[in-house]
Amino acid sequence: MLPRRRRRLRLGYRHIDVGRAVRDSGIPREQVYLDLYLIHAPWPWDQMGKDCREENRQI
């Protein structure tokens, strides 16, 4: 799967739906580690934490 993501990024994709990949894999979410990077977040740190927890809950 990684080569396909690299190819898509080279083609111009700027959004990769990791949540969908996790759901479609059939592997329980509790067994998957997601590594996210936030660079120059445009919101306050306390709100960022809340937003990240909500995103994680939805995945």
Start-end of H helices in 1-59: 2-11, 18-25, 45-58
* Dist CA 28 CA 35 (whole Å): 16
Percent of the chain with pLDDT over 70: 85
Determine the pLDDT at residue 29: 82
Determine the pLDDT at residue 6: 80
pTM for the structure as a whole: 0.42
pLDDT tens, the chain, 59 aa long: 577 878 888 888 877 777 778 888 888 888 988 776 666 666 777 777 787 787 777 76
Q: Which tokens sit at 57?
A: 């809950």
